[in-house]
Amino acid sequence: MGERVGIAVIGLNGAVATTAAAGIAMIRAGSNDLSGLPLAARDVDGMAAYRDLYFGGWDLSHDDLATAAMRHGVIGEKELANGASSLSQMRPWPAVGSTDFCANIDGANKIAAPGHRAAVARIQQDLAAFKAEQELDRVVMVNLASTERKADLDAAALASVDGFERGLDEDDAAISPAMLYAYAAIASDTPYANFTPSVAADAAPLAELARIRGVPVAGKDGKTGQTLMKTVIAPALRDRALHVDGWFSTNILGNSDGLALDDPKSLQSKLGTKGSVLNSILGYPVEDHIIMIHYYKPRGDNKEAWDNIDLTGFMGQKMQLKLNFLCKDSILAAPLAIEIARCLDLAQQRGQGGVQEQMGLFFKLPQTSGPHDPVHAVPEQQRILDDWLDGGHA
C-alpha cells in the first residue's frame, strides 16, 4: 500500500464530490476500472495511486454522502451496493457559508463561528483532525462548492496580504467563504485547487501568500464539457486558417449546480470564466461569441450543450459547424477533480509552490503566476502537462 492522501472537499455533498468519492471507493473495492480517468495510463513516480485517496470535507447539508448521491441521481443503488456503501458512513463537517455570496444555496450544517478568524481556525482544526483520524500522510483541499457571486476585487481587503489579514480581523464583507477556505489551506501549507468559478486562491493576496509560503495552488473552474470542446476545436480552426465569424453556445442543465447558476450573480461568475478562451486561442476578437446557460430541471445531471460556429474559408466562402454534446456533468467532472488532487499532491512532493500553471489543462480559466495570459488551447496545455509529469518543470 502506498502513502495515504486525503482530499478535503468544500462541497462534499455535491454531485461532483459524491461521484468522485463513490468512484474511488469502488476502485478500492475492485468494482470500478480506471476508465474515464485522464491520467490512469501514466506511471509517474511519486504520484498517489487512486486507491490511496481518501475523501472528507465540508457541506452546508448534513446528509450522509449516500443520501446526497441518491438525490443527485448520478449514481444509484447499484453503485452503492457495489463498492460504494462506505458513503453512507460519511457525513460532511459543518461548513462556512454565506447567502450574500451564494443566494440560492443554504443549509443548516454551518459552523457557529463568530467571525472570519474563528472560521479559519475551525477549518484548520478540521484539516488536522481529518489527517489524524484517517491516518493520512498528506492532505490537499479542493473546492467543489456552489458557485459564488463575483467578488469585489477593488476592496482594500483583496488588494494585499496585509489588507487581507486586516480584513480577517475586521470580518470584512469582501471576504467570501471560498476565500476563507483557501486562506485556511494556504496558511496551513495545504495544497489548494479551485474547481469552481468563485474567486478564491486567485485573489491577489492569496496568490501572493501561496507564493511566499511555497504552497501549490491551481484553478479555476473545471474544463469539462462545452469549453473543453471549444478549446479543442478552436486551435484546429486557427491552424486551418478558418476564420470564426461567430460562436453561439447554449446549455441546459437541471442539477443543483444549475440551480445555483439560476442566480444571475452566480451566473455572471460562470460566464466570465467561460468567455475568455476564444479570443486568446484565435488571436483576434470574435465579435459574436454568445454563451447561455439555462436551468432546466427535467434533465438533472444530464447536461446538453449546443454550439453553432460560423466560419469563413478560402475565397470568402461561408460554412457552419454544429456540435451537440449530451454529457453527464459529474461523470466528466469527478475524474478531473481526482486528477487535480493527485497533481497538486505531486507538486508539493516535488517542492513546487505557488500557482501550478502546468495544470491549466484542467481549467476553463487557468490561474497564472503573473500578469501574462494563460494558455487555453488543449493541444498546447496537454504538452505542458505531459512534460511536467515526465519530470520536467512547467
- Residues numbered 175 to 204 that lie near ligand NAD (CB under 6 A) are 177, 195-196
Question: Of 29-37, 59-67, 150-158, 292-300, which part binds ligand NAD (CB under 6 A)?
Answer: 59-67
Query: If binding is defined by CB under 6 A, does position 58 make contact with ligand NAD?
Result: yes
When binding is defined by CB under 6 A, the residue of 216, 222, 254, 300 that contacts ligand NAD is 222
- What b-and-e string marks burial along 362-389, b requiring 16 or more CB atoms within 10 Å of the CB? bbbbbbeeeeeebbbbbeebeebbeebb
Query: If binding is defined by CB under 6 A, does position 60 make contact with ligand NAD?
Result: yes
Whether 347 contacts 341, CB under 8 Å: no
Query: If binding is defined by CB under 6 A, does position 97 make contact with ligand NAD?
Result: yes
256 or 358: CB nearest ligand NAD:
256
255 or 348: CB nearest ligand NAD:
255
- Residues numbered 319 to 378 that lie near ligand NAD (CB under 6 A) are 329-330, 332-333
In whole angstroms, what separates CA 53 from the centre of its chain? 17
Contacting residues for 153 by C-beta, under 8 A, at least 6 apart: 199, 203, 204
Query: If binding is defined by CB under 6 A, does position 221 make contact with ligand NAD?
Result: yes
Of 98, 45, 44, 91, the C-alpha closest to 68 is: 91
Which residue has the CB atom at the shortest distance from ligand NAD?
Answer: 14
Query: If binding is defined by CB under 6 A, does position 224 make contact with ligand NAD?
Result: yes
244 or 303: CB nearest ligand NAD:
303
**In a 10 Å sphere around its CB, with 0-12 CB exposed, 13-18 middle and 19+ buried, how is residue 283 labelled?**
exposed
Question: Of 21-29, 252-260, 339-347, 378-386, which part binds ligand NAD (CB under 6 A)?
Answer: 252-260
d(CA 52, CA 275): 36
Query: If binding is defined by CB under 6 A, does position 95 make contact with ligand NAD?
Result: yes
When binding is defined by CB under 6 A, the residue of 53, 145, 341, 344 that contacts ligand NAD is 145
237 or 277: CB nearest ligand NAD:
277
Cis peptide bond prior to 220, omega within 30° of 0: yes
d(CA 117, CA 222): 29
Question: Of 101-109, 152-160, 204-212, 287-295, which part binds ligand NAD (CB under 6 A)?
Answer: 101-109
d(CA 322, CA 384): 29
DSSP codes joined into one string, 90-159: --PEEB---TTT-TT---S-B---SSHHHHHHHHHHHHHHHHHHTT-SEEEEEE-SPPPPPP-TTSGGGT
Least distance (Å) from ligand NAD to the CB of residue 14? 2
When binding is defined by CB under 6 A, the residue of 79, 257, 345, 357 that contacts ligand NAD is 257
Least distance (Å) from ligand NAD to the CB of residue 253? 8
Query: If binding is defined by CB under 6 A, does position 260 make contact with ligand NAD?
Result: yes
Whether 6 contacts 136, CB under 8 Å: yes
d(CA 243, CA 356): 32
CA atoms within 13 A on the CB side of 68: 26
Least distance (Å) from ligand NAD to the CB of residue 95? 3
When binding is defined by CB under 6 A, the residue of 32, 54, 61, 127 that contacts ligand NAD is 61
**Interface ranges with ligand NAD (CB under 6 A):** 10-11, 13-17, 58-61, 72, 95-97, 102, 105, 107, 144-147, 177, 195-196, 221-222, 224-225, 255-257, 260, 329-330, 332-333
